[in-house]
Amino acid sequence: MAQSHNAAETALEIDRLATQLAKDPQSKAFLPLAEAYGKAGMWQEAAGVLEDGLKYYPGFITAMVALGRAYDQMEQPAKAQAILEESIKLSPENLRAHRTLIKIYQNQGQQDLALQSCAAILTANPRDEEALSIQASLGGPVQQEPAQPKPSAPREPQAFAPQLNVSSDRTVVPAPSPRTGVVVQLEAWLRTIESRRRDHTAANSSHLKTSQ
């Protein structure tokens, strides 16, 4: 009963969308109509609708991937591979396209290409179980959890001698020693004595000249 009910709903959906598309051939209703055809297993009709829609909307990634899947279901792997490879050139992260391509590549023995599509899926989701399983079966690299960085060991305090912060543009003047002051004082006394001697000699000379 449930299957009959679902089939009836799908038939009504197909009729509604087909009528809408007939009224406006450039409507994007072609995509949900193709999906409804796919639910009913009518892949030939789905492919025809998608081919017509892509004439109006070239580069429509979702429609291109849906067409590739329809070709794959119709057992036309060459057509499916061509449209899907074109789609991942435009959108490299499209996982649905890569999943279908993996199946096609495996069936054709193109293991390297299958591994490339696995890698693209795992780049987006490293825990993708399906891609991990296929990658392992093809002998590809095993995905590992990124290693957590180890905490660095605390540094031991290093003993250091206090450094004088002496600016390079300052001149350090040594403090005068006590002996320096004594020498200066003695030199001053000597100069005074010599000056007095000269004055006394000059006075005696003047006195002698006057007495003669």
Per-residue pLDDT tens over the stretch 13-56: 999 999 999 999 999 999 999 999 999 999 999 999 999 999 99
**Domain edges within the chain:** 2-137
Question: Domain 2-137: which CATH class?
Answer: mainly alpha
User: Regarding predicted confidence, which is higher, 209 or 68?
Assistant: 68
Whether 71 contacts 81, CB under 8 Å: no
169 φ/ψ angles, rounded to the nearest 5 degrees? -95, 10
Which pLDDT band, with edges at 50, 70 and 90, does 5 fall under? confident
**AA letter at 29:** A
Rounded to whole angstroms, the Cα distance separating 18 from 48 reads: 12
Mean pLDDT of 107-118: 96
Indicate the range of 20-34, 55-69, 149-163 predicted with least confidence. Answer: 149-163
A 10 A CB-CB count for 35 gives 17
Rounded to whole angstroms, the Cα distance separating 59 from 38 reads: 21
List all residues 6 or more positions away from 56 whose beta carbon is below 8 Å from its beta carbon. Answer: 25, 26
User: Regarding predicted confidence, which is higher, 86 or 157?
Assistant: 86
pLDDT at residue 35 in the model: 97
Q: What is the mean pLDDT of the chain?
A: 81
pLDDT at residue 99 in the model: 97
A 10 A CB-CB count for 86 gives 14
pLDDT at residue 7 in the model: 85
Rounded to whole angstroms, the Cα distance separating 191 from 47 reads: 125
Rounded to whole angstroms, the Cα distance separating 28 from 56 reads: 9
Q: Is 196 left (phi over 0), alpha (psi -120 to 50) or beta?
A: alpha
User: What percentage of the chain carries pLDDT values higher than 90?
Assistant: 61
pLDDT at residue 169 in the model: 46
pTM of this structure: 0.65
